[in-house]
Amino acid sequence: MPFGNTHNELKMKFKSSEEYPDLCKHNNYMAKVLTPALYEQLRSKQTPSGFTLDDVIQTGIDNPGHPFIMTVGCVAGDEETYEVFKELLDPIVMARHGGYKPTDKHKTDLNPANLKGGDDLDPNYVLSSRVRTGRSIRGFCLPPHCSRGERRAVEKMSVEALDSLSGDLKGKYYALKNMTDAEQQQLIDDHFLFDKPVSPLLLASGMARDWPDARGIWHNDSKTFLVWVNEEDHLRVISMQKGGNMKEVFTRFCTGLKKIESLFKAKGTSFMWNEHLGYVLTCPSNLGTGLRAGVHVKIPHMSKHAKFEEVLKRLRLQKRGTGGVDTAAVGGTFDISNADRLGFSEVELMQMVVDGVKLLVEMEKKLEKKQSIDDLVPAQK
């Protein structure tokens, strides 16, 4: 909550050391990477739309750490941020994405036929399955930096494209500012709607300005395919349903996503994408696939086991509470999803989740019967 000093013209009268943020109590990727020397080099730069170094890092300064997750501590304001501030962002991308190098290439694979299995996760344990990603529209600033005019244009384009969807993807758009409190609460309870911005991580980046102007949710009639407009990214695309049929969820995901992309292309716009970073999104943690595939799974025994964290780590999975990233688990039910975003394709990440969750459920069943799980502990993926 922020932001005047990020474009304050008097700040260049002060030395770099006088402007360098105090990061001594901080524990996020930005704080680890941004040395005083690096700050000095970058502090006079800005992207063509005017996004500055201070804009990039403000959220990381204002939020020293997070109880459950190692946060990134910086955001992009436009596509060019990743180029203009590559000296800061390349090391952060490397640290956050398992050693991904500036010269690496990212592969995109949205062909659901390449996913093996995934249609038979035990619904006694796997309560629901969900896949989400984000997309940014080239030529527009991202949520931390976009103007109201830009945001409204993104909304308008998105609604036009989504209105063209048909068949089982036919649906309707609900602008946040026209929603009743009751409609809104129902959508939140159904895990469909995004939160009103309360997370200080998000607020400090500037993405909540002018809320709820030009924000909304589109979903198909059966509520299994959703698009969030202008939350943390221009678009968030979500496929979800009760039970453990990840294959079906992913198939719908790929079909819908590709249809939306072609609708945008037909109107002369495209998504931000390049062969190094894949899909470009607001948070560096979501680069590449932007994909988070996960389940809500009941693992009360496994989650109390001494080896739980280690098993997750080896499976390249991450746990969250059932309310999403800033929540704790309730009643032994966890949100388990892929930890990676970049350097693996969509199919590869899905495969990790499908195989990993299957294993976790097997372990849970063993522990229920008070059997050992030692022989099931996997090698590091």
Q: Of 112, 206, 284, 288, which lies in the binding site for a second copy, with binding defined by CB under 8 A?
A: 206
Determine if the peptide bond prior to 212 is cis (ω within 30°): yes
Q: Residue 129: in which H helix or E strand, if any?
A: strand 126-135
Residue 65 makes contact with a second copy by CB under 8 A: no
Q: What is the dihedral of CA 225, 229, 232, 237, to 10 degrees?
A: 20
Residue 9 makes contact with a second copy by CB under 8 A: yes
Residues that contact a second copy, how many (by CB under 8 A): 50
SS3 of 308-371: the string is HHHHHHHHCEEEEECCECCCCCECCEEEEEECCCCCCCHHHHHHHHHHHHHHHHHHHHHHHCCC
Per-residue contact track with a second copy, 22 to 51, x per CB under 8 A?
x--x----------------------xxxx
CB of 271 to a second copy, least distance (A): 18
Residue 10 makes contact with a second copy by CB under 8 A: yes
182: tokens are 């009751």
3-state secondary structure of 80: coil
- Which residue type, as a one-letter code, is found at position 162? L
Sites for a second copy among residues 151-180 (CB under 8 A):
152-153, 177
Residue 209 makes contact with a second copy by CB under 8 A: yes
**Span near a second copy by CB under 8 A; candidates 5-13, 127-135, 242-250, 254-262:** 5-13
Q: Of 5, 185, 222, 372, which lies in the binding site for a second copy, with binding defined by CB under 8 A?
A: 5
Q: Which residues contact 180 (CB under 8 A, 6 or more apart)?
A: none
Residue 145 makes contact with a second copy by CB under 8 A: yes
- Which residue type, as a one-letter code, is found at position 114? N
The structure tokens 């931000």 sit at: 272
CB of 254 to a second copy, least distance (A): 32
Q: How far is CA 140 from the centre of its chain?
A: 19
Q: Of 83, 210, 310, 368, which lies in the binding site for a second copy, with binding defined by CB under 8 A?
A: 210
Residue 55 makes contact with a second copy by CB under 8 A: yes
CB of 6 to a second copy, least distance (A): 7
Q: Which residues of the chain form contacts with a second copy (CB under 8 A)?
A: 1-11, 13-15, 18-22, 25, 48-51, 54-55, 58, 61-62, 77, 140-141, 144-150, 152-153, 177, 203-204, 206, 208-211, 213
